[in-house]
Chains A and B, each alone.
Chain A
Amino acid sequence: MAKITLDKIRHRYGASSDTEQDFALKEIDAVWSDGGAYALLGPSGCGKTTLLNIISGLLTPTEGAVLFDDRDVTMTPTSERQIAQVFQFPVVYDTMTVYDNLAFPLRNRGVPEDQIRVRVHEIARMLDLESMLRRRAAKLSADGKQKISLGRGLVRADVNVIMFDEPLTVIDPHLKWLLRSKLKELHQQVGVTMIYVTHDQTEALTFADQVVVMYDGTVVQVGTPVDLFEKPMHTFVGHFIGSPGMNVLPCEMAAGEAIFAGTAVPTASSATDLKSAVLEVGVRPQFVRFDTGGFPVEIVKVDDLGRYRIVEVRREGHSIKMIADEDEKIPSENPRVSFEPEHTRIYADGWVVN
């Protein structure tokens, strides 16, 4: 177990240059405590895999330091950092049985065979692999192979952190949720720090206690799934998390209030001196309601998704999405909507105004 500190990490691939654009990671400072479940969430190209490889030692950062428990490991090779990593594509040693695969890391470290047997059986039981220990690893399905990869990480007692790089990519869609729950269950059982990299918000939000949202090489927000959902600090977080994402609508300030499409919209932000920035008001579809006291809109489209419906309404050319429950009635005449004030915020240049 270890506390992981990232101190002013910046990384650039390829030849040296001075432009900020060439840096895959622009500046990362973070402290992650022992035993937590973290997710690095962001679109392709945001730098999350680069960051993961820097933590695991497969990459040395151009600038900055990585510390495990306040010990500088930036120059320590991977095999000595006591980490485990599960990759996107299952990595198993084809010629060995499942048992030998799981025993491999322990054998390389000279652990006696009887200890190995106990440990391998324990881990295999946790992963529901016990019945397959004698099989050739190459014969298992994709999710079985990923479990073996995971098992190789868990089997070592001295592991500081286990890292996952989009591990569910090759898993059959109808098996993904099984493996997702299994990972969560494992974390609760084993208690090792786990870092999970993904571009899928469901995976990140269901797995992690704390989610690190990244965009274009920087950390945009760190928080619990609830925080990210209810209090997005940047319009990107609002847009990226949640399906559908947050509505971001242009607004103006007048007399201390936000004005959208000619109507005053009460928000949770205390609006002070906000003249020079690009102003937007953000509210999630879940917090937009049909309200006879609200402002008039026209209903453009209703998508029936079974357990809820996504209603797209329009006001003065701006499209607003809202969620209606399965049984909720959608007014057919003169629909009016309002935003819940506690969950509506003003964003200046993308950043939230508190």
Chain B
Amino acid sequence: MSQKSPYQKAWYFVIPVVVLVAFNAVIPLMTVVNYSVQETFGDNVFFWEGMKWFEQVLHSERFHASLARQLAFTGMILVIEVPLGIAVALSMPRKGPWVSVCLVLMALPLLIPWNVVGAMWNIFALPEIGLLGRMVNGIGIDYNFTQQPVSAWMTTVAMDVWHWTSLVVLLAYAGLCSIPDAFYQAAKIDGASAWAVFRYIQLPKLKRVLTIAILLRFMDSFMIYTEPFVLTGGGPGNTTTFLSIDLVKIALGQFDLGPAAAMSLIYFLIVLLVCWVFYTLMMRNEDQ
């Protein structure tokens, strides 16, 4: 009779992780699911409500509005950050002493704690005393992000671009570095223009990396909370109240556990769905 395969012993190492994840993720998730189908008036007394909260959330104007705002925001930053990131990565040197300098510069914004980013931009953009605020108002544009919705949006988008484009840059740069020299040499010999080189060599080879970059940026921006909260608080009014900010208001502000839990689950499912669709499309393209 053969001995037990040694690979089975590896499972024992996983137990601590399983316990941790169960405690921190699975059990809370199950609790949320529990809340989403029940009603409570306090005192830990629960009544079964079924799908009532889900229906309420899905039909609520407020939910539609914040979802729309969120989608608009995510759309905007993807459209700006991805091409910008690729462009910056293309212009970074691949060999020589400046490589490390550039890499460090690109990594810096990613290292700053998110609430600090929000606070930084808050002060930076203040119309009276902030560097940016003063400058923009000085050129003659009437700019006040605490009172004007458009200015608030633009500032939030600018902050996110400043904070996160570096991620796209670093990913795209890594992808570019992995292209063998022979391709560039062959393109030179074939007389290809710089645009042809980008379109036929660099972009195709970046596809994998870009998929990851877009997926990451979508997920992160769709769930964004700290930075816009610290920057605008969701205001002026609720013009920059994105999904997660709204959710927190409902859950902790109004203490409507039921609707909040339902909304969380809907939120979670949307993210999951989009990512799955996107990923499948990309992977199918690869196989073709």
Q: Do B185 and A105 touch across chains, with their CB atoms under 8 A apart?
A: no
Q: Do A85 and B193 touch across chains, with their CB atoms under 8 A apart?
A: no
- Does A152 count as interface, using CB distance less than 8 angstroms? yes
Q: Do A89 and B182 touch across chains, with their CB atoms under 8 A apart?
A: yes
Cα distance A108–B189 in the bound complex, in angstroms = 11
Residues 165-223 (chain B) with a chain A CB within 8 angstroms: 180, 182-183, 185-186, 188-193, 196, 200-201, 204-205
Most buried by A among B188, B190, B196, B204: B190
Cα distance A95–B197 in the bound complex, in angstroms = 12
Cβ–Cβ < 8 Å partners of B196 in chain A: 108
User: What are 8 A-to-B residue pairs whose CB atoms are below 8 Å?
Assistant: A89-B180, A91-B186, A94-B205, A105-B189, A108-B192, A108-B196, A149-B186, A153-B189
Cα distance A94–B286 in the bound complex, in angstroms = 11
Q: A79-B191, A105-B190, A152-B190 are in contact. Are A93 and B185 (CB under 8 A)?
A: no
- Does A88 count as interface, using CB distance less than 8 angstroms? yes
The secondary-structure label for the interface of chain B is: helix
Q: A58-B185, A89-B180 are in contact. Are A104 and B204 (CB under 8 A)?
A: no
Shortest distance between the CB of B179 and any CB in chain A (Å):
11
Cα distance A109–B182 in the bound complex, in angstroms = 21
User: B-facing mask of A92-105, CB < 8 A → 1, else 0?
Assistant: 01111000000011
Q: Do A85 and B191 touch across chains, with their CB atoms under 8 A apart?
A: no
Q: Do B189 and A109 touch across chains, with their CB atoms under 8 A apart?
A: no
Q: Do B185 and A87 touch across chains, with their CB atoms under 8 A apart?
A: yes
Residue in B182, B191, B204 whose beta carbon sits within 8 Å of that of A91 in the complex: B182
- Does A56 count as interface, using CB distance less than 8 angstroms? yes
Residues 322-347 (chain A) with a chain B CB within 8 angstroms: none
Residue in A87, A108, A109 whose beta carbon sits within 8 Å of that of B186 in the complex: A87
Interface residue range, chain A:
20 to 34
- Does A78 count as interface, using CB distance less than 8 angstroms? yes
Most buried by B among A84, A89, A108: A108
- Tell me how many residues of B have a C-beta within 8 Å of chain A: 16
Residues 9-68 (chain B) with a chain A CB within 8 angstroms: none
Cα distance A83–B191 in the bound complex, in angstroms = 11
Residue in A58, A89, A94, A104 whose beta carbon sits within 8 Å of that of B190 in the complex: A104
CB closest chain-A residue, reference B205: A94
Q: Do B189 and A78 touch across chains, with their CB atoms under 8 A apart?
A: yes
Cβ–Cβ < 8 Å partners of A91 in chain B: 182-183, 186
User: B-facing mask of A148-163, CB < 8 A → 1, else 0?
Assistant: 0100110000000000
Shortest distance between the CB of B213 and any CB in chain A (Å):
19
Q: Do A93 and B200 touch across chains, with their CB atoms under 8 A apart?
A: yes
Cα distance A78–B188 in the bound complex, in angstroms = 7
User: Which 4 pairs between the two chains have the least Cβ-Cβ distance?
Assistant: A108-B191, A91-B186, A87-B182, A105-B190
